Structure formats: C-alpha cells, structure tokens
Amino acid sequence: MKRRLTLADIADTAGVSVMTVSRVINDKPGVSDEVRQTILALVESMGYRPNQIARSLVTEQTTSVGLIVPDNTNPFFAQIARGVEDAAYALQYSVFLVNTVENPQREFDALDSLWQKDVDGLIWCSARVSHEVLEAQISRFPAVVLLNRELTEPPCNTITINVNDRHGARQAVAHFLAQGRRRIAYLNGPEHSVSAHRRLEGYRDAITEAGVPFDEGLVDCCLPDTDSGYDAALALLDRCPNVDAILAFNDLVAIGAMQACQALGRSVPQNVAVIGFDDIPLATIIKPQLTTLHVDLRHIGESAMRALLDKMEEAACPSAILIEPELVLRDSA
Amino acid sequence: MKRRLTLADIADTAGVSVMTVSRVINDKPGVSDEVRQTILALVESMGYRPNQIARSLVTEQTTSVGLIVPDNTNPFFAQIARGVEDAAYALQYSVFLVNTVENPQREFDALDSLWQKDVDGLIWCSARVSHEVLEAQISRFPAVVLLNRELTEPPCNTITINVNDRHGARQAVAHFLAQGRRRIAYLNGPEHSVSAHRRLEGYRDAITEAGVPFDEGLVDCCLPDTDSGYDAALALLDRCPNVDAILAFNDLVAIGAMQACQALGRSVPQNVAVIGFDDIPLATIIKPQLTTLHVDLRHIGESAMRALLDKMEEAACPSAILIEPELVLRDSA
DNA sequence: TTGTACGCGTTATCAT
DNA sequence: ATGATAACGCGTACAA
C-alpha cells in the first residue's frame, strides 16, 4: 500500500497551489478552464481521491450515518437496512451498521461510538429504550430518524416513521369478518412492543365495532418467532377449540400458527384462517402461501435515509411519516 | 446540539495542557496519579469523548472496517454480517455495510468510498470481480479478508476464508449412497460461482469414486433462489423421472426442489431425498425440515473480523482459512 | 484568477 | 511529570 496522494502532490506536479486543486476537486468557480482541465487530467491519471477524514475535520460533515437495529439477521430489519443502504448509495453516503441484540449496554456503546465518529445522522430502531434516554441521545446528533416510536413532542431534529399498525390490524379483522368468521384470535407480540400495543388496539376496535364481543381468552402474547407462534397457537386452540381465524403479530408467528393448525389436523384456511404481518420473503415460500399485511420495508428504509438527509440539510420536511400496510390475499385466509 | 467538548476545554478547566489530558485519555504514562484522577473526574462529569475524526487524521487509524456483500437481505450474508458486527463490537470497531446488488459500478464506487473514508480493513464477499480488479483493489487497503475466493498467490495483506465445498458435497453424496440411492441429481448454482464449481467437483468425485457413472443429465444450473430451484427440479424430474435424490446448491434451491417434488406427488424423503447447503434459519421452519450441510456463517463472520484485525496488526496469522461444513440430518434425507 | 494564512482536534516529538 | 510546537490533509477567509 503506497502513500496516499494529497492535494499538495497534485498541486506540485501541476505547478499550482493546493487551493486551485481544491477548487477543481470541489467544482468551485475561480479557476480558468485551462488550468481546470490540466488538473482534472492529473487527478485522473494519478488516481487522486480526497481524504474524507481530513475533509470531515474541517467541514464537520462525514457523509456517513449510523443505522441501529436489534438484529440485522431478522428479515424485517434486513429489508430496512437494505433500503437505507440503497438510498445512502444514491446520496453518496455510507452506513455504519450496528446490532443491539436487545442489549442496552451494547446499544449505549454503539451510540457513543457513532457519536465519536461524528455521523451526520442516525436511523434508530429501538423498541426498548426509555423516553428519557431516547431524548437525551437524540439531542447529541445533528438529525435522527426514529423507526416505530411515537414522540409526544418530537425534537426539531427528529423524524418518526411508523407503520399504521391499527389500520393494518383492522383490515385483517375486517377480512375475517367478511368471510363470516367470528371466533377471531390474536397472537400478539412482546408486551413492551409499541407495534404490539397498536395492533392490539386495532384488533379490539375492529372486533367490537362489528358487534362481536371482545374475548380476552382469544388474545395471547408470544415472542415474535416461529417456535413461539407454534406453541402459542397450540395452547390457544386447546383453550378455545372453536377459533376460526388467527391474526398474528408478524409473519413468523403466523407461520408457527399455521403449522400448529396443521399439526392438530385443522386445515388452513378451511378450518382456521391465518393472517400475518410484514410480508417477509418467507411468506410466499411457505405453503399455503401466507395472506399478510404487506409493509414495504425497503421503502421505509429508503424513506428514512432520504428524510434524514432532508433534516440534515434543514430542508422543510414532515416530522412524522405514517406508512400504510396493505392486505395481500394469498392462500391462508 | 451543543458544541463538542475538546481536549482544550478539559485542559482549560483543569488548568493543565492538552497533552496532559491526551495522555490521560489514552492511558499513557507520564502523568501524576493526582492529576490523572482530577482529569478523569472532569472527563466523566463534563461528558467528554474524543473526536475520532481528528484522532484518525493523525494516527491514520479509523477503527472502522468495510463489509461488502452482494445483498444483506440474503440470509446467508445477513448471518455473516451479524458475525462481523458482533466481533467488531467486541474489538471496538465499527462496520460500514455495503451492498453491491451484483452491480459492478456500485461495487467500484463502494470501494472508492471506503478507501476515501480510510477504513482500516475490508471484508469482501465478491463472486463476480475478476482477478485483476481484485488484486488491484486489495493493494489499496491495509488489510483484506476475502470470502469465498481462492487466490493462487495471496498478497501478504490478505486472508481468504473459504467453505470446504468439495468435502461438503461429498458428505451429502455419501449419505445418499449409504441410503442405497443411485440416481443422484445435483441442482447447481450460477455457473460463474466459485462455490458452485467446487461443489460440483465434490459431487462428481464422490459419485464416480463410488462406481456410479456420472450422468450429465442429472446436473443442472439455476439461480440460487427458491423459484429457480422449483423450476429446475420440475424440469429435472420430467427429464429423469427415476431420480431418487437431489443435492441442491443451497437451502433455497433445496426448498424449491422439495416443493416441486410435492407438486409432482413424490414424497420427500421416501421417493426423493433432498439435501441443501448452508443451513439457513428457514431450513428448520419448512416442513419437512431440511437435511443440509450446516455452515456456521456467524462464526465465519466473526473469524473474518478477527483475522482482519490480526492482519492489520501484522500479527502472525494464517493466510487462508478453510471452514468445514457439517451434515445435519433432519427430515428431508 | 490565483495564492497565503489559518484552523479543525488530535497525537508525536522534543523540550523543560 | 508536564508543556510548547508541529504536524495530519483539507477548506474557509481574505489578500493579491
């Protein structure tokens, strides 16, 4: 690895000052066309690229952002990360990826590290952090996009992006009801999850508005994975054998529920209809293909990155974005 | 967002020079215990954190690395990324995540961007880039870990990590043979893929060594996803109805193949046994659960990050690491 | 149009 | 043990 070329190297061989080269590199006026061409040719042939570190030190801009997710292995966050990175590439930004793995210490360390590296902005998916910590951390960064958190009074450097969970759950219940189903269960996600609360609200409202009495026995919580969904569905069907529809917190839970039904000899969707949430790739791989509330996660990621840039540039932009899930009918309901 | 504190701020309020503070921050000798304690207390109470950008400019170390993958959404790379990030966290490094989406321009831009940001090292999963480009790019970085590429003469700043694809394929074939199966097909991945070549070799060698004639009609290529696997298996079973075992390039292809068998009324594993490769989470979600060659991708990611750090520190370390896949028997074979 | 001087926040070097 | 000074590579401000 040879020594990096600097502005001075180009300036020397071109016989001009560093400032002239700098102006050319940054496409700024004040350089004659002739000199400009000479320098551009030199930059090309010598393979010069600006040192972003040095540049950052003076401009206070790093052209990099932080993305904090619980686990990039979870297809939900993988899709979001992909969207963020796609948009970042288009905008000439780089993305630091950080997993918190539900570990507060690690999350804290990550924030510190990103701050020390002077990221221009932060895209933060954190369900667990308290409001106080959230606001304190937000104030350290130039701009922040919060995913799946609501803020009563959002700081002016912050944008929240949320899925319309209530409406999504209502759509699912409405679909079940239209099919004539009345014993509609809901396998919810973790209690502390904001999404879980909102989806439960949507479910309850839709049920009661339809005149179907709300039955607590039809609602249960589980971890948002297939195994937990399987176990929870097994217990549910044992407790309430006449269930004819299951709304699941997410697709993984839904798939577990479908497999539980099959294990108990209930066919899906004839005996029990199942609807998931998110529409991860797995939803179309599994048989029967899962009817689910599609959420365009890549698009959310892209929006997050673009909104972040807007905030960084202090452009006029909304402080909250609501994403509408869309019910896609496949085979399970 | 208030102004960042600097060394000078601490130095001023402590009534010492910046160098003394710097020494304390970096745990260097040459500071009396008394002063040291005073400064540490001040750093704590004022909440000072070093500016990594300024630090990088002088130390030529950024404590960040680049991770280039085709698509972080692919569970294969998601697991690797997770392992890399886990190890990076433990080692106090940050990870720039980049997707190439099989786009040479984007890959080139990414390398440029990472170089400009002066990453200390690079973990690079690239199947498509030519040898010349590969070597040219490698020489630009302090240290590089290459995933799933073999180098005839690896540069001294480079480590390659490969899966023992040949041995993996042989294990699968051996298992089929032990079950008395003789019409063993192989649905391979993309032609240009290094892994695909190696797995095909392992398959062919194992077949012929067992005295079973190698039949080209039993081998086909497809894209490494479920749909392509489905289509390829459909065509295969139409062409060679007496196939009694299918080795797939990866788990997604294997799942597609299983579904094709089921669609044709062949039961898995009774009529046709199926073995996949990689052992992605989906392998245990699908029914029947997939027998597959387990590759510990998280571990590969962790190893990659640790090996990279070793190279960066010029520690003695191997220049090539071979990872052994392990056949895990589940329901499909 | 072009160049000079300075500063960004830190560490390295060499004094004291 | 402590401090003054000079880098690191670049952009801003101002001068020529």
Among chain B residues 297 through 326, which have CB within 7 angstroms of nucleic chain D? Answer: none
CA of B56 to C1' of D1 (A): 27
Mean pLDDT of the region A73-100: 97
Q: Is A250 on the interface with B (CB under 8 A)?
A: no
Looking only at the bridges linking them, the beta strands covering B158-163 and B320-323 are parallel
pLDDT given for residue A218 in this prediction: 97
Q: Is A106 on the interface with B (CB under 8 A)?
A: yes
Rounded to the nearest angstrom, the minimum Cα separation between A240 and chain B is 25
Residue B5: pLDDT band (50, 70, 90) is very high
Q: Would the pLDDT of B322 be above 80?
A: yes
Q: Would the pLDDT of B219 be above 80?
A: yes
**Which residue's alpha carbon is at the shortest distance from the C1' of C12?**
B58
Looking only at the bridges linking them, the beta strands covering B121-125 and B144-147 are parallel
pLDDT digits (tens, 9 = 90+) for A176-196: 999 999 999 999 999 888 899
Domain ranges of chain A: 7-50, 61-163+297-324, 165-294
Q: Do B264 and B246 contact (CB within 8 A), yes or no?
A: no
Rounded to the nearest angstrom, the minimum Cα separation between B90 and chain A is 10
Verify whether the Cβ–Cβ distance B95 to A97 is below 8 Å: yes
Burial class (CB in 10 A: 0-12, 13-18, 19+), A264: middle
Q: Would the pLDDT of A2 be above 80?
A: no
Task: Report d(CA B126, CA B194) in Å as an integer.
Answer: 10
Q: Is B57 on the interface with A (CB under 8 A)?
A: yes
Which residue does chain A place closest to B98, by CA atoms? A85
- Our CA dihedral for B72, B76, B79, B84, rounded to 10 degrees, sits at -70
pLDDT digits (tens, 9 = 90+) for A186-230: 999 998 888 999 999 999 999 999 999 999 999 999 999 999 999
Mean pLDDT of the region B79-100: 98
**Phi then psi dihedrals of residue A103, to 5 deg:** -110, 110
Verify whether the Cβ–Cβ distance B116 to A52 is below 8 Å: yes
pLDDT given for residue A126 in this prediction: 85
Q: Is B28 on the interface with A (CB under 8 A)?
A: no
For domain B7-50, the question of CATH label 1.10.287.3510 is answered with no
DSSP 8-state secondary structure symbol assigned to residue A317: -
Mean pLDDT of the region B220-236: 96
Q: Would the pLDDT of A62 be above 90?
A: yes
**Which residue's alpha carbon is at the shortest distance from the C1' of D9?**
A54
pLDDT digits (tens, 9 = 90+) for A308-323: 999 999 877 889 999 9
Residue A11, H or E segment: helix A7-14
CA angle B2, A154, A161 (to 5 degrees): 115
Contacts of B139 in chain A (CB under 8 A): 1
Mean pLDDT of the region A48-69: 98
Q: Is the peptide bond before B288 cis (omega within 30 degrees of 0)?
A: yes
Q: Do B117 and B56 contact (CB within 8 A), yes or no?
A: no
pLDDT given for residue B128 in this prediction: 82
CA B124 to chain centre: 8
Class of domain B165-294: alpha beta
CB atoms within 10 A of CB B209: 12
Mean pLDDT of the region A64-84: 97
pLDDT digits (tens, 9 = 90+) for B129-173: 888 999 999 999 999 999 999 998 889 999 999 999 999 999 999
Sheet of strand B245-248: strand arrangement: B219-221, B184-188, B245-248, B273-278, B291-294, B326-328
Tokens of B49: 């954190």
Task: Report d(CA B194, CA B189) in Å as an integer.
Answer: 10
Locus of tokens 């886990």: B86
Nearest partner of B236 among B249, B214, B221, judged by Cα: B221
Q: Do B61 and B121 contact (CB within 8 A), yes or no?
A: no
Least confident range from A89-98, A130-139, B125-134, B296-305: namely B125-134
DSSP three-state, residue A276: strand
* A61-163+297-324 has the same fold as A7-50: no
Nearest partner of B277 among B234, B325, B223, B229, judged by Cα: B325
- Percentage of the residues of chain A whose pLDDT score is greater than 70: 100
Q: Would the pLDDT of B127 be above 90?
A: no
CA of B162 to C1' of D12 (A): 50
Please state the three-class secondary structure of chain B as a single string: CCCCCCHHHHHHHHCCCHHHHHHHHCCCCCCCHHHHHHHHHHHHHHCCCCCHHHHHHHHCCCCEEEEEECCCCCHHHHHHHHHHHHHHHHCCCEEEEEECCCCHHHHHHHHHHHHHCCCCEEEEECCCCCHHHHHHHHCCCCCEEEECCCCCCCCCCEEEEEECHHHHHHHHHHHHHHCCCCCEEEEECCCCCHHHHHHHHHHHHHHHHCCCCCCHHHEEECCCCHHHHHHHHHHHHHHCCCCCEEEECCHHHHHHHHHHHHHCCCCCCCCCEEEEEECCCHHHHCCCCCEEEECCHHHHHHHHHHHHHHHHCCCCCCCEEEECCEEECCCCC
Q: Residues 6 or more apart from A218 whose CB is under 8 A from it?
A: A183, A184, A185, A186, A236, A240, A243
pLDDT given for residue B317 in this prediction: 81
Residue A278, H or E segment: strand A273-278
CATH number for A61-163+297-324 (one of 3.40.50.1220, 3.30.750.24, 3.40.50.2300, 3.40.50.720): it is 3.40.50.2300
Mean pLDDT of the region A93-121: 97
Q: Is B92 on the interface with A (CB under 8 A)?
A: yes
Residue B120: pLDDT band (50, 70, 90) is very high
CA of A90 to C1' of C6 (A): 35
CA of A307 to C1' of D11 (A): 27
Mean pLDDT of the region A298-304: 98
Q: Is B51 on the interface with A (CB under 8 A)?
A: yes
pLDDT given for residue A30 in this prediction: 86
Strand C and B46 CB separated by under 7 Å: no
pLDDT given for residue B309 in this prediction: 96
Q: Would the pLDDT of A104 be above 90?
A: yes
pLDDT given for residue A152 in this prediction: 87
Nearest partner of A150 among A158, B327, A142, judged by Cα: A158
Burial class (CB in 10 A: 0-12, 13-18, 19+), A213: exposed
CA of B126 to C1' of D7 (A): 39
DSSP three-state, residue A291: strand
Which residue does chain A place closest to B256, by CA atoms? A285
